[in-house]
Structure formats: structure tokens, C-alpha cells
Amino acid sequence: MTDAAKVSVDGKDFDYPVMSGTVGPDVVDIRKFYAQTGDFTYDPGFTSTASCQSKLTYIDGDEGVLLHRGYPIGELAEQSSFMEVAYLLLNGELPAADELSQFEHTISRHTMVHEQLATFFRGFRRDAHPMAILCGVVGALSAFYHDSTDIHDPVQRTIASHRLIAKMPTIAAMAYKYSVGQPFLYPDNSLSYTGNFLRMTFGVPAEPYEVNPAVEKAMDRIFILHADHEQNASTSTVRLAGSSGANPFACMAAGIACLWGPAHGGANEAALNMLREIGTPDRIPEFIARAKDKNDPFRLMGFGHRVYKNYDPRATVMQKTVREVFDALKVNDPLFDTALRLEELALSDDYFIEKKLFPNVDFYSGVILSAIGFPTSMFTVLFALARTVGWVAQWNEMITDPDQKIGRPRQLYTGPTQRSYVPVGQR
């Protein structure tokens, strides 16, 4: 491990310190690069850029490893709960039993939204995409919770963090209810975090709603798998928005907007729509050929990843969960067989092998969510619900990081050099 990186620019040599983390690649500290060389570095998409130091999540893309505060995602998915993972990400350690029950109690006391917030939904068309509603309503939270928008007050940061984690299920369920023309249900805090969400989503005032324990467990596990994922696009969006001092509600709305893209969180909806378009396994070769065709913008949704060049460990757990949900609900979906066959054929195809394209977290999630009863338009809303825990934890870490300042990248300018204005009569 070197302690400095040597860079030569215009014949002059410069040394830049190399910093090491606890695990993973070292980083070259180039904060003084422009001041010393007069040049910028160039890294569109930030494929080789570390934007911050973080203790939250570690990913080894080559090995397919994902750790939250050091704990492997497979162990958390099997043995933990979403609320416990939320506590872990926010506080750094697994909670003792009393700490966990206190945290769950605190979160449950923030599950209701301001009664006036319900009127926001009335402004949307009934066929509005739930992500459009989520984006608008979460941003509007800053108009209701002024007492937790001072980002320099740790008490207000904590209250805002708890409010966001607690209210996302309520708002997500309201977005769904609004789209199907059913009345909103208030939270029932005698239920678990995930059970409460399932009841607010699928329950109706006309009769009691029984939470199916197997579905509750599968849904809670799906939330764990989506909780946090290092400096992905939406998390980086939250951090960049937060770096200007924007309030936490506005920052999360920015993260929701970014997550919506089909290359990111919108891929779960796109992947199921793709499986429906493929239909039966005999049509898979046609779609694999299209995914390989440079002239065709089609990509296999739910495949590939910026970091994982191995199997996404979350996809492994997700695939196993499909069977559990099918058995619990006594359902089957031929699209799962299509998905399994598509994975088998893609992973034996030289194009996918050479480009190291494996199924990611979004490939199987849609099959499960559809079996539980969610429409595809709700899939990314569920991703956002779960990722709010990661966004909030990353936002808190950014606010308290002494190295952080407002994010302001530069550019390689390729436009016209200075020229004089020409009056319209002389053009």
C-alpha cells in the first residue's frame, strides 16, 4: 500500500496522499489537484470517484458481498427485522432488546400524518403514478413539520429522521389507496411496522384485516434488502441536496425523484413489465438477442450493476423468497419460471459472461410483489419506502462529517469561446 500517488502534469510532478479504509480500495486524495495543477479530473458517472467517507455499508462488487455496519446482508435478511436494521444503520450497533422496543415504540408514535396532508392527494388525477404522488407529498412534509427542519440541531435531525421512516409506509399506502379509489386507513400501532403497512394498503374500513405472517415476514425481508446500498444514484442525490443545507424532507423527495428512473429503482417495475412482454420461455432468445444488439436500446431489466460484477447477494435472497411467498399464498406465477429460465440462458451467454451481467435486486422482486397483490406501479414506491432508512442514515452521516461541504462538481467545457452579441437585424 503506497502512502502517496505521483501525478505528472505538464512535466511537473505532484504527490497526492493515499487514504485507506478498514476494507476495500484505497482512495487518492485529490482535493488539492485543481489548485496545484490548474486541471480538473474527469469522471462522468463517478465510476472511479469516492464522494465521501462512510461507515454504513460496504459492497465488494467482485465477490458479491454487501455489509451493513459489518453484518452480511444474508444474515440480516434471515435473522433480523427491518426495524432492527434501521436502528443498526442509524446508530452503528445492533440494539439490545429494550433499545429495539424503545425504537419501535418511537417510530410507531410518528406513523400518522398531519390530517391536512390527505388533501394533497385530492389534487392528483386518480391515475397518477404513485411515485409522482410520493415525490410531491414527501416534499410537502417540510410545509407541515417546521419544528424538525433545522439541520444543525441534533434533536430536530433525530425527530425528522424518525418522522420520515415512520410516515413513508403511511404515505405509500395512501398513494395506493388513492389510485384504487378506496378510503385511507389510519395506522394501527398494535401491529408491526410492516404489518401496519400491509393493513393500511390492503385493509378496508368495512372489515377487519388479518396480516398473513408469512407475507409480513417476506415483505419485512424485502425492506431489509432495499434499506441501503452505499453511494448509489439516489443516495448521492440525497447527499448532494443535503450538502446545500436543504431540509431533510426536501432531500428525501430529491432521492425519490432519482430512484424513479428505470436504470435505478424503477427497474423493478420495468423488469416485471419485461417478463410480461416476454411471456413464455420460448420467446427469451429473441429478447436476449435484442439486449445484445448495440442498435437496440433494449436492456434486460433487472440485470447488470455498476458495482456488482458477480451475483447481487440480494437477488439470491429474493429468489429464495419467491418460493416462500408462493407457498404461503398458495399461488404460482408462470413468470417466475420465465425469470428462472431467462437467468439460466443469460448467465450461459458469452455477452453476459464477458460483461459480468448478473441478476440484481430488481430482477425477482416484482414477481413477489405481484403475488402479494401490489400493482407494478407500486414497486418503486416500496423500494423508496425501504431506502428511506438508508437515505436518512446517509444524510445524518453527511451532516455530521467535518470533511463535507456543498457539492459543486466542475466540467470540461466544449462550447463556444467568447463572442460578441449580434443584433437580430444583422444575423
Q: Where does this chain touch ligand SDX (CB under 6 A) — which range of 113-121, 170-178, 242-250, 304-312?
A: 304-312
CB of 296 to ligand SDX, least distance (A): 10
CA 252 to each of CA 26, 142, 179, 248, 392: distance values in angstroms, whole numbers, following the listed order: 30, 10, 22, 6, 8
What is the contact mask toward ligand SDX in residues 278 to 297, using x (rule: CB under 6 A)?
-------------x------
Catalytic pick from 110, 264, 305, 312?
A: 305
> Residue 398 interacts with ligand SDX (CB under 6 A)?
no
Q: What is the number of other CB atoms lying within 10 angstroms of the CB of residue 51? A: 16
Q: Where does this chain touch ligand SDX (CB under 6 A) — which range of 151-159, 183-191, 302-310, 394-402?
A: 302-310
> Residue 320 interacts with ligand SDX (CB under 6 A)?
no
Residue from 27, 136, 306, 347 in contact with ligand SDX (CB under 6 A)? 306
Instruction: Determine the 3-state secondary structure of 346 from DSSP.
Output: helix
- What are the backbone dihedrals phi and psi of residue 398, each rounded to the nearest 5 degrees, phi first? -65, -45
> Residue 68 interacts with ligand SDX (CB under 6 A)?
no
Q: Is 362 a catalytic residue?
A: yes
CB of 217 to ligand SDX, least distance (A): 21
> Residue 362 interacts with ligand SDX (CB under 6 A)?
yes
> Residue 305 interacts with ligand SDX (CB under 6 A)?
yes
Residue from 300, 315, 318, 399 in contact with ligand SDX (CB under 6 A)? 300
CA 39 to each of CA 28, 29, 154: distance values in angstroms, whole numbers, following the listed order: 16, 15, 38
Q: What's the rounded Cα separation, in Å, for the pair 385 and 382?
A: 5
Is 418 exposed, middle or buried, given 0-12, 13-18 or 19+ CB atoms closer than 10 A?
A: exposed
Q: What is the DSSP letter of 44?
A: G
* Nearer residue to ligand SDX within complex by CB, 44 or 416: 44
In sequence order, which residues have a C-beta less than 8 Å from that of residue 350 and are 6 or more positions away? none
> Residue 397 interacts with ligand SDX (CB under 6 A)?
no
- The separation between CA 306 and the C-alpha centre of its own chain, rounded to angstroms, equals 14
Q: Is 110 a catalytic residue?
A: no
Residue from 303, 379, 391, 395 in contact with ligand SDX (CB under 6 A)? 303
Q: What's the rounded Cα separation, in Å, for the pair 401 and 393?
A: 12
> Residue 355 interacts with ligand SDX (CB under 6 A)?
yes
Q: Where does this chain touch ligand SDX (CB under 6 A) — which range of 108-116, 170-178, 263-271, 336-344?
A: 263-271
* Nearer residue to ligand SDX within complex by CB, 302 or 366: 302
**Angle, vertex CA 218, rays to CA 217 and CA 224, nearest 5:** 90
Closest CA to 379 of 278, 236, 269: 269
Residue from 254, 267, 284, 384 in contact with ligand SDX (CB under 6 A)? 267
> Residue 125 interacts with ligand SDX (CB under 6 A)?
no
CB of 59 to ligand SDX, least distance (A): 7
With CB under 6 A as the rule, give the number of residues binding ligand SDX: 21
Q: What's the rounded Cα separation, in Å, for the pair 193 and 177?
A: 18
Q: Where does this chain touch ligand SDX (CB under 6 A) — which range of 88-96, 167-175, 239-247, 298-306?
A: 298-306
CB of 316 to ligand SDX, least distance (A): 14
Q: What's the rounded Cα separation, in Å, for the pair 357 and 367?
A: 20
Closest CA to 363 of 384, 335, 381, 339: 339
Nearest residue to the partner ligand SDX, using Cβ:
304
Instruction: Determine the 3-state secondary structure of 210 from DSSP.
Output: coil
What is the contact mask toward ligand SDX in residues 203 to 242, using x (rule: CB under 6 A)?
--------------------------x--x----------
> Residue 360 interacts with ligand SDX (CB under 6 A)?
yes
* Nearer residue to ligand SDX within complex by CB, 103 or 391: 391
Closest CA to 286 of 305, 268, 300, 270: 300
In sequence order, which residues have a C-beta less than 8 Å from that of residue 376 and are 6 or more positions away? 269, 272, 273, 366, 370
* Nearer residue to ligand SDX within complex by CB, 323 or 355: 355
> Residue 302 interacts with ligand SDX (CB under 6 A)?
yes
Q: What's the rounded Cα separation, in Å, for the pair 382 and 130?
A: 10
Q: What is the number of other CB atoms lying within 10 angstroms of the CB of residue 302? A: 27
> Which residues here bind ligand SDX, judged by CB under 6 A?
229, 232, 263-265, 267, 291, 299-307, 355, 357, 360-362
- What is the set of active-site residues? 305, 362
